[in-house]
Amino acid sequence: MSAIGSGKLLRPSGLVRVRAAFDIDYRYRGDHVPGDSSMPTSTIHTRRLVLRPLRIEDARRIAELGGDWDVASMTARMPYPYTADTARQWIDETDPGEVIFGIECDGDLIGVTGFTPTEDRLSAEVGYWLGKPFWGNGYATEAARAIIEHCFKREGFSKLVCGHFADNPASARVIEKLGFAATGSSNWWCEARRLEILAVRYELPRPRPNWRRLMGFGKSSR
């Protein structure tokens, strides 16, 4: 599952639905400097997940999960096959301003999420991908919601954008559930497939003060 993005971080877009809402707990070991290309120093805790900075030792795991064709083919820039050496290079050479978190569940790395701000820092593109063994459990939606709240609450962006390839309807349902509205479509390069694929683009403006209630944050749905 994944949402494509223009940054090197955001590779796949085929999320899952989540029925239970959650509270986000920010536990900072330091502050991410807006516009800095280094990994974040913050750790975000949701009900079931931990979003934490990537480490170089994560490369083998990232290659293992991202090396699945069903994952790589739904991302914009993830190559296929995806090797541990390629993953190490990616971790070492993030794009300027790009902020990347590993998604951890019960101590295991299960995917990646993050955002890339525009040059004026008024908006950002968000993205994520999840290893196939972990699809269908609501993890991708939970992680994406955490990133959305982080972007609006901590980074102060006025708008977020994201997208998915047109042949990935699962991501379309999740992105819309998160509150994004479609803005159009265009062809995007898919590195794994080595061709341009039609992609649908979305945006989410900064919500009004009651956005947490409207999106279900802090409540349990049944």
Domain boundaries of the chain, sorted by first residue:
2-215
pLDDT of residue 129: 95
List, for residues 200-222, the tens digit of each pLDDT value: 999 999 987 665 555 665 554 44
pLDDT, averaged across the chain: 83
Name the pTM for this structure. 0.80
List, for residues 70-110, the tens digit of each pLDDT value: 999 999 999 999 999 999 999 998 887 899 999 999 999 99
Which CATH number is associated with domain 2-215? 3.40.630.30
Dist. CA 20–CA 183, nearest whole Å: 28
pLDDT of residue 214: 55
- Residues in the chain where the model's pLDDT stays below 70: 1, 4-41, 209-222
Give yes or no for a contact between 170 and 16, defined as CB atoms under 8 angstroms apart.
yes
pLDDT of residue 15: 32
pLDDT of residue 213: 57
pLDDT of residue 3: 75
pLDDT of residue 216: 60
CA angle 53, 118, 58 (to 5 degrees): 20
Give yes or no for a contact between 34 and 155, defined as CB atoms under 8 angstroms apart.
yes
Beta strands 195-205 and 181-190: pairing type? antiparallel
Dist. CA 163–CA 184, nearest whole Å: 10
pLDDT of residue 68: 97
The count of other CB atoms within 10 Å of the CB of residue 110 is: 22
